[in-house]
């Protein structure tokens, strides 16, 4: 029996070393050499070198002077360790009720304006750092008032931050919330 088990254990050991150690280390090395920013989480640093976020993971911005992101289904805010959708289908009563409540609150805040879908729906991962240009534009008056800034300048900053679809046709135009909020802090710093 040992004669028959020996090749199985040798194969298991060989493939464990090859596919469990060598291959991941090689891929990690290639990623670090070719794409170091992306391989290290696409981190965003402030002018002092401190990490302030990631280009790929949303954050909670609740203050009136900031652009707000879309809702997150990732548990506690945008907790990347809890990345997942809600797994609620479009006919789920809890999901429908949450979206109705969120939409009503936003309609009240924005004086009955049409609410873009991404303002009340979560992304598949629950961590989306981007919102639609329509949702970003909708928030401009609130941001301008909170920062005592000209509405046109805030809108101009949002327009300048709109990223087109990849290759011109993959995906939708989008606005990265962290990028705009950092630009707003640089252009119109809050006093106090």
Structure confidence at residue 184 (pLDDT): 95
What crossing angle do the helices spanning 133-147 and 177-187 adopt, rounded to 10°? 30
User: Is 90 inside any structural domain?
Assistant: yes
Q: Are residues 99 and 15 in the same domain?
A: no
Task: Give the residue numbers spanning the domain of 16.
Answer: 1-40
Structure confidence at residue 9 (pLDDT): 93
Q: Are residues 28 and 54 in the same domain?
A: no
Total domains, the chain: 2
| Secondary structure (H, E, C), the chain | CHHHHHHHHHHHHHHHHHHHHHHHHHHHHHHHHHCHHHHCCCEEECCCCCEEEECCCCCCCCCCCCCCCCCCCCCCCCCHHHCCCCCCCCCCHHHHHHHHHHHHHHHHHCCCCCCCHHHCCCCCCCCCCEECHHHHHHHHHHHHHHHCCCHHHHHHHHHHCEECCECCCECCCEEEHHHHHHHHHHHCCCCC
Q: Are residues 164 and 109 in the same domain?
A: yes
Q: Are residues 87 and 28 in the same domain?
A: no
Structure confidence at residue 41 (pLDDT): 81
Q: Are residues 23 and 54 in the same domain?
A: no
Q: Are residues 9 and 76 in the same domain?
A: no
- Give the chain's residues under pLDDT 70: 74-77, 81-82, 84-86, 192
- Model's pTM, two decimal places? 0.79
User: Is 192 inside any structural domain?
Assistant: no
Q: Are residues 36 and 96 in the same domain?
A: no
Q: Are residues 12 and 106 in the same domain?
A: no
- Express each pLDDT in 115-150 by its tens digit: 999 998 887 777 889 999 999 999 999 999 999 999
- Structural contact between residues 77 and 70, judged by C-beta atoms closer than 8 angstroms: no
Structure confidence at residue 38 (pLDDT): 85
């Amino acid at each position: 029996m040992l004669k028959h088990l020996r090749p199985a254990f040798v194969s298991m050991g060989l493939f464990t070393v090859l596919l469990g150690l060598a291959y991941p280390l090689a891929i990690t090395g290639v990623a670090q050499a070719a794409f170091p920013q992306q391989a290290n989480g696409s981190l965003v640093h402030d002018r002092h070198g401190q990490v302030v976020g990631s280009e790929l993971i949303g954050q909670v911005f609740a203050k009136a002077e900031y652009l707000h992101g879309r809702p997150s289904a990732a548990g506690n805010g945008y907790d990347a360790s809890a990345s997942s959708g809600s797994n609620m289908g479009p006919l789920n009563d809890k999901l429908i009720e949450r979206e109705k409540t969120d939409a009503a609150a936003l309609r009240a805040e924005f004086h009955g304006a049409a609410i873009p879908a991404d303002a009340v729906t979560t992304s598949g991962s629950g961590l989306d750092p981007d919102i639609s240009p329509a949702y970003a534009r909708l928030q401009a008056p609130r941001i301008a008032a909170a920062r005592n800034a000209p509405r046109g300048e805030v809108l101009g900053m949002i327009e300048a931050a709109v990223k087109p679809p990849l290759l011109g046709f993959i995906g939708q135009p989008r606005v990265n919330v962290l990028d705009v909020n950092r630009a707003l802090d640089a252009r119109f710093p809050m006093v106090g």
